[in-house]
Structure 1
Amino acid sequence: MLPFRIGDVSPGDTFVHVFDPVAFDLVLAELDTISDFTRYLAKRAGFVRSGTFAGADGEEDLLGLYLQNIGAHFVRPDGTRWPAGDQVRVSPGHWQWVQQQAGFRAKKTADRPSYAWDQLIELFVEHVIAGTTEGIGGAEVDVSNAEQALRLMAQEDRINRRMLGEAFLESIQIVISRRATRFARRVIAGPTAINRTLGYIILILAQPDEELPGGYGQYRQVLAQILQAYCFALMEEVPELENVVGVALDAPP
């Protein structure tokens, strides 16, 4: 039986990633979106088969090499690539070294707003599972459409979730500070986004002071219809968009 090692056991075959439980948990903890995780797998396979990689004692050190630079992966600390013919063996303890770097700590701080986006996804998933989502105009909820929207939201990587999370949190703060009854914000993918044909509308609407004849249910219908109108308007204004996901919430009391 071959001993377990990080490398390419069978270069002529399809690359297969193998992680032990500890390494797998660490990778998922650091690359905690599907897009970040699958990007790592692709870059990892490419690096191992590049002819430059000479080995690593642990997955954590290989992960550290991947994460030590923002925007460029498996390169030297200064962001440049190794000269052709160089052989790189990742030093033991490299992961601990990366964790101590100012850039790595700054990234962790910058990522904090992005988890508001994660919480939104979890909230909407709970409503879809519980059957408490609202169909527009009294129509029956199309679960497949809700699932598609959630998939689009979930495909955003951690960096793009920063922008989305910040937009969401800032929208709430604006509503609170201005005591606004309605606030809408459009968010269009930036140049580094995974899906540049996707846009978002974030809508926050206060319930009217006087209760509508249909109560909260009617208010939710109004909220859904306004959101739909904003989404159509954004697609009309930006014809490059193929999908617009609408996110609507009640204004804080």
Structure 2
Amino acid sequence: MSELDTIYDFVNYLSEKEKAIKKKILIGASGEEEILAYYYREQSENNSLIGSINGPNLLSNEGFFLDEGLWREYKYEGGFEERNFLRKNSSFWDSLIQDFSKHVLTGKVGLAEDQPFSLHEKAIRFLAAECRTSRYYLSSALVEKIREVPENRRSARLMKSVQDKDLFYIFLVFPRNKSRSDKDYRLERLGYNHSYSLVAKYLYPELKNIVVIANDYLNEERRSEDVVAYDYNRSLSLEECKLAAELYEEVGILKSVNRYTDNSVFGTLGNKPYRNKDKIYRRNGMCPCGSGKKYKKCCMS
């Protein structure tokens, strides 16, 4: 339980073991840790997100028995340190799940308290469904994004889930306007959350689910975070396409941001996105809250 500490990893391990036993691939083992070591070894050798339990010779119908010593070899060969590295460097993602879950269960969700519980639960479910390796890459990309954005600069990163091809994340760093109240700031940021998800769907029609994680910039004293899930398992309407095009052109949403991808599993992060250099908002641009009005006639006033 301490090793397989995400629900995805735990369930996949049990499923792999069940299939191996039913197919008589795995006849027996001297201990659970030996099966787990074999599972992890297959993951490393196949450079995959999760492990597997296949026989040494897939063409043979003979099963195999896992003798004592595999776990000891796994620890000495460096696999154990690799797992600890992933766990340590994905703890930020774990803390997001814990914090958001606590806020939802205690009803402390700020301006979104009028939204149904199921909507909050869905956003957390996406975060919690990621396996340990995926959490490492998502954490690395999110923390790196927060750290690199200077004060008073709106910037975003679009990143595909490592394990779910239908899920994309938008990491948004949104600066505060010192002259506005916390409530006004949060309202404005929520409007941008929706605008970024809409433009992302407009630019990449294949997207089905989008989760926006929005933050203040790193050194803000009164930091807060949003996590919002958007279901786009449909095509945008003509009105939505028109609004998304205007937000893209006039407000600069995702206009100079590359999609953040890294197809390797155990490698270095790459394909750094360009930072959005446009102004935070424009007087005559479309209001990011999604009202369809110009900014000067909407939230600016």
Q: State how far apart, in whole Å, the 2-side matches of 1:132 and 1:209 are.
A: 24
- Provide Cα deviations, 1:175-194, integer angstroms capped at 9, x if missing partner: 2xx3343221111234xx1x
Q: State how far apart, in whole Å, the 2-side matches of 1:47 and 1:217 are.
A: 55
Match of 1:217 in 2: 183
1:93-172 aligned within 5 A: 93-135=69-111, 140-172=114-146
Gaps of 5+ in 2: 221-301
Q: State how far apart, in whole Å, the 1-side matches of 2:89 and 2:155 are.
A: 20
Give 1:45 deviation, angstroms.
0.5
Match of 2:52 in 1: 73
Preserved contact between residue 138 and residue 161 of structure 2 (Cα < 8 Å): no
Q: State how far apart, in whole Å, the 1-side matches of 2:13 and 2:7 are.
A: 10
Match of 2:177 in 1: 208
Match of 1:9 in 2: none
Preserved contact between residue 128 and residue 146 of structure 1 (Cα < 8 Å): yes
Q: Secondary structure at the match of 1:240?
A: coil
Q: State how far apart, in whole Å, the 2-side matches of 1:187 and 1:143 are.
A: 26
Q: State how far apart, in whole Å, the 2-side matches of 1:87 and 1:140 are.
A: 56
Deviates more, 1:240-249 or 1:65-74: 65-74
Letter in 1 for 2:192: I
Aligned with residue 56 of structure 1, among 29, 32, 42: 29
1:168-179 aligned within 5 A: 168-175=142-149, 178-179=150-151
Preserved contact between residue 134 and residue 221 of structure 1 (Cα < 8 Å): no
Are 1:41 and 2:20 an aligned pair? Answer: no
Alignment coverage as a number of residue pairs: 213
> Structure 2 length normalisation: TM-score?
0.65
Are 1:247 and 2:213 an aligned pair? Answer: yes
How well do the aligned residues superpose, as a CA RMSD in angstroms? 2.1
- Provide Cα deviations, 1:78-117, integer angstroms capped at 9, x if missing partner: xx54551333111123222212212442343244332211
Preserved contact between residue 25 and residue 54 of structure 2 (Cα < 8 Å): no
Give 1:75 deviation, angstroms.
4.3
Preserved contact between residue 34 and residue 71 of structure 2 (Cα < 8 Å): yes
Match of 2:167 in 1: 198
Structure 1 or 2: more helix by fraction: 1
Match of 2:265 in 1: none
Preserved contact between residue 121 and residue 154 of structure 1 (Cα < 8 Å): yes
- Provide Cα deviations, 1:103-151, integer angstroms capped at 9, x if missing partner: 4423432443322111111111122122222446xx8222211111111
Are 1:227 and 2:193 an aligned pair? Answer: yes
Q: State how far apart, in whole Å, the 2-side matches of 1:52 and 1:69 are.
A: 14
Match of 1:183 in 2: 155
Q: Secondary structure at the match of 2:65?
A: strand
- Provide Cα deviations, 1:3-26, integer angstroms capped at 9, x if missing partner: xxxxxxxxxxxxxxxxxxxxxxxx
Give 1:59 deviation, angstroms.
1.2
Deviates more, 1:166-175 or 1:85-94: 85-94
- Provide Cα deviations, 1:31-51, integer angstroms capped at 9, x if missing partner: 111111111111001111222
Q: State how far apart, in whole Å, the 2-side matches of 1:130 and 1:232 are.
A: 30
Identity across matched positions, percent: 28
Letter in 2 for 1:114: S
Gaps of 5+ in 1: 1-27
Q: State how far apart, in whole Å, the 1-side matches of 2:165 and 2:133 are.
A: 14
